[in-house]
Amino acid sequence: MTLESTESATQLANRMPPSFTLGVAAAAFQIEGALTDGGRGPSGWDAFAEKPGAIMDGHSPAVACDHYNRLPEDVALLQDLGVDSYRFSLSWPRIQPDGRGAFNKEGLDFYDRLLDQLLAAGVSPMATLYHWDTPLPLEHRGGWLNRETAERFGDYASAAGERFGDRVAQWVTLNEPVSVTLNGYALGVHAPGHALMFDALPSIHHQLLAHGLGAQALRAAGVSGGIGVTNLHAPVRPASRKIGDRLVAHLYDLLMNRIYADPVLLGRYPSLPLYAKPWLRSIGKISDADLRTIHQPLDFYGLNYYFPVKVALGKGSASIPADVHKAVARLPFHEVGYPEYSSTGFGWPVAPDHLGVLLKELHDRYGDALPPVYITEGGASFPEPDTVSGTLADEERVTYLATHLGAALDATAPGGIAAGVDLRGYYVWTLMDNFEWAAGYSQRFGLVHVDFETQERTPKKSFYWYQALSRARKAKGA
């Protein structure tokens, strides 16, 4: 089945710059399964998922989408979709089971096959070195609270660059260090499950140091592709003009956005307000040498955008979304939401207009220090059945993607509010329904429906819409 190129898809394609990239993204732990096959070692997420109550409904990542055993079928889906690029992640424990020392031939061979099949299908590979699956032996030694993890990451990046550097078009060192710190080390709702609150802050610096060491290792290995990093960003607004709300909105913006981007793009951490220093004391004094390592030249900056944030002073009383733990009640602020917007399955506001605002904020803050930008994740989950008998008409997802992509193009076009941003592409999260971390299989983000009992893949209407968009963009450039 194919959909005709609708007028909206054609118009959207006509607004894209000639070299604009359309892609899809995925992550190893969420799709591969085969957790004990092919010499793979355990990860921190393997251990976390085994804890009673850690994953919704007791769902297991052991099989996920069985991508490890269904690689040709999934590459065929990518080829049929017609995207320019596929952003996937390398599994660190599949390549280096102990996180140090010997590398696993079977794991390296698996990604050789993936890369070769992608290139044969005409799909450009964007490889993420780290998408949250820390080798368990490193996690046992402190994970990202331990500086050694950053050093070991540099070794791993070097091996990946030497093995795959001739075929990967773009490298992402880390995916969303903010999510790792917030959910994994501060709130304890993701692996490794530490509820350290503000004492989790050293994990930020060690991840950023790993980024710098990884970028250096890739360049030393002589990789031919560009190098960047990806982080989740959100525009942050105070719930009111009250001084307390404005102060905590500033603090939230520092913790969500600037404490990650400033060291990478400017070579320094943002100045911390005096009132917040007691909370942020655990980050400690940072050496100039570390900042130089973190502040590597970048070929691009990856932006993941899902929703804006509005915060107010004090503890909240509103219901807590499925992916957020009650530990947030201990924070000095709370999110108040955007009731004027519709919501995704996760309860996230659908706010495409804020994507342009975010792009403008990045340009205003970083100016010429901001490299070309790829939106490396954008997408939404919506309630969908576990089984389907035909093409699922996921109209909400089509609308979501069309409006968000349109907002990004509007904002960065000549005369747009973020016209100074060099926007190079957009990657949909995600190719197919998968294991959505602590939410298990309850949240479906895919362009392709997956029946997790049979592993049958069924493209949704959004798949055919994105296929039409890809074809229209390519026809425009022909």
Instruction: Name all contacts of 413-417 with Cβ < 8 Å and 24+ positions apart.
Output: 413/15, 416/356, 417/356, 417/357, 417/359, 417/360
User: CA angle 309-206-304, nearest 5°?
Assistant: 35
Residue written as tokens 């995925």? 26
Phi-psi group of 23: left, alpha or beta (phi > 0 → left; psi -120 to 50 → alpha; rest → beta): beta
How far CA 357 is from CA of 113, 360, 377, 396, in Å, comes to 40, 5, 17, 22
The DSSP symbol for 259 reads H
Cross-sheet strand order for the sheet of 333-335: 236-238, 309-313, 333-335
Backbone angles phi, psi at 175, to 5 degrees: -110, 120
How far CA 360 is from CA of 16, 285, 364, 423, 441, in Å, comes to 18, 31, 6, 12, 35
Do the beta carbons of residue 304 and residue 231 sit within 8 Å? yes
Can you name the residues that pair with 465 across neighbouring β-strands?
none
Position 325: which residue type?
H
Q: Where are the beta strands (DSSP E) in 42-100?
A: 85-89
- What is the C-alpha separation between 295 and 215, in angstroms, rounded? 10
> Which amino acids are annotated catalytic?
176, 377
Q: Is 436 annotated as a binding residue?
A: yes
- What is the C-alpha separation between 226 and 300, in angstroms, rounded? 7
- What is the C-alpha separation between 151 and 133, in angstroms, rounded? 16
Q: Is 306 annotated as a binding residue?
A: yes
- What is the C-alpha separation between 342 and 431, in angstroms, rounded? 23
| Cα 28 → chain centroid | 12
Q: Say which residues have a Cβ less than 8 Å from residue 90's Cβ, sequence separation at least 6.
A: 28, 111, 127, 128, 129, 160, 164
| Element at 80 (helix H, strand E) | helix 71-81
Do the beta carbons of residue 346 and residue 322 sit within 8 Å? yes
And the tokens for 245?
């709300």
Crossing angle of the two packed helices 461-477 and 71-81, in degrees rounded to 10? 60
Report the binding-site residues for substrate: 30, 131, 175, 306, 429, 436-437
Annotated binding site: which residue ranges?
A: 30, 131, 175, 306, 429, 436-437
